[in-house]
Amino acid sequence: MVGLRAPLRQGRRSVVVALAMALVLLAPVAWADRRDQRAADLYTEGVKLIRQGKYREGAAKVNAALARGATEPVEAQGSETRFLARPYDPYYWLGVAQMETGLTEQALSNFEKSSTMVPKGRTQPVLADAPAEWTDLQRRKGLLLASLEVPTPVQVAAAPPPSPTPTPFALRLPERTVVPQAPDIPVVAAVPEPAPARAPGPAAVLLPASALSLRGDLAALLGDPAVAARAGASLRTFLGRLDTALGRGPAAAGTAERALRKELSGEPGAPVLLAALEAGLEAHRERRYEEAARLRDQIQSMQPGA
């Protein structure tokens, strides 16, 4: 692995070549099966707790499954020899738990992932094969979008000042003077003008799912002790830049995401990729194949166009 350090300093092409060579070496044994039985077990436990109304405990289990690198909704997660979670969609159940605990914006972001992420080989999200959950997902998204609408403020006109009360005075009429009766004038009530229709406020602004996915990959690498020990400073810098852009809205988040992916595939990202590759090789040598597969997937998902 030491021999990779010199080529990586030569720029983007050397980084990509070194990455490809490492992936080829590891692929035959470590990554023949991307299924993660432990992620399936954690996900199943989390779904059970959420169904029971234990939302925070269930969300913690689902997040633990995501932290293992099982970040893609799939038709089945787990081992054929044990138990398969069908379908595996952590974002839907995480959104349910967040919505029930008042985390409205986070829930809407996860529902958006669940309804738009389509695995390779499919034409629609995996949850579309589960009619009850798919219907509930659409219902919850509609409720959250409606709740996040910003009402247009209504301008209230100031009340006119009260007119002064006239001072009464006495009127003495001459004797035998006949005062003519005023004709009855029908009083027509004024018809109030209809109030103008209030325009609905803008719907909640959704951050790009690809930018959120990149942030998840960077955070997972920073949470890996072996990777953080080698490239913690670089990872914190990339994460800080992305978090700042996410706070500025979708346009800034998309621009920052594209720039970071380009840097991660070139010389600025060489320390991060090298650290992840070394950690993956160590996991492979120690027969920790699921961990090696997770690192491989995270490296690939951070590249441009992923």
Distance CA 121, CA 166 (A): 86
- Tally of CB atoms within 10 A around 116: 11
What is the token pair recorded at 213?
């996915």
Same structural domain for residues 133 and 230? no
Distance CA 95, CA 106 (A): 7
Same structural domain for residues 126 and 212? no
Final residue before a domain boundary, out of 149, 173, 193: 149
Domain CATH code at residue 73 = 1.25.40.10
Q: Per-residue confidence of the chain (306 residues) as pLDDT tens digits?
A: 445 444 444 554 455 445 544 544 444 333 334 578 888 888 989 999 999 999 999 999 999 989 888 888 887 776 655 556 778 899 999 999 999 998 988 999 999 998 888 888 888 888 888 888 889 999 998 898 888 764 545 455 555 566 555 555 444 545 555 555 555 555 444 445 554 544 444 444 578 888 888 888 888 888 888 888 888 899 899 989 989 998 898 899 889 989 999 998 888 888 988 888 888 888 888 888 888 888 888 788 888 876
Name every residue whose Cβ is closer than 8 Å to that of residue 82 and which is 6 or more positions away in sequence: 37
Same structural domain for residues 45 and 145? yes
- Measured in whole angstroms, the distance separating CA 216 from the mean position of its chain's CA atoms is 10
Query: Range of 67's domain?
Result: 35-149
Name every residue whose Cβ is closer than 8 Å to that of residue 89 and which is 6 or more positions away in sequence: 73, 114, 125, 126, 127, 133
User: 222: which DSSP letter?
Assistant: H
- Tally of CB atoms within 10 A around 186: 4
Note the pLDDT of residue 120. Answer: 82
- Per the structure, the count of domains in the chain is 2
Note the pLDDT of residue 77. Answer: 75
* Model pTM above 0.85: no
Distance CA 215, CA 304 (A): 14
Same structural domain for residues 218 and 289? yes
What is the token pair recorded at 303?
């590249």
Note the pLDDT of residue 65. Answer: 87
Same structural domain for residues 41 and 135? yes
Note the pLDDT of residue 284. Answer: 84
> Please, what sign has the CA dihedral across residues 282, 283, 289, 292?
negative
Point out which residues pair with 77 in neighbouring strands.
Answer: 85
Distance CA 214, CA 253 (A): 11
Could you give the percent of the chain with pLDDT greater than 70? 67
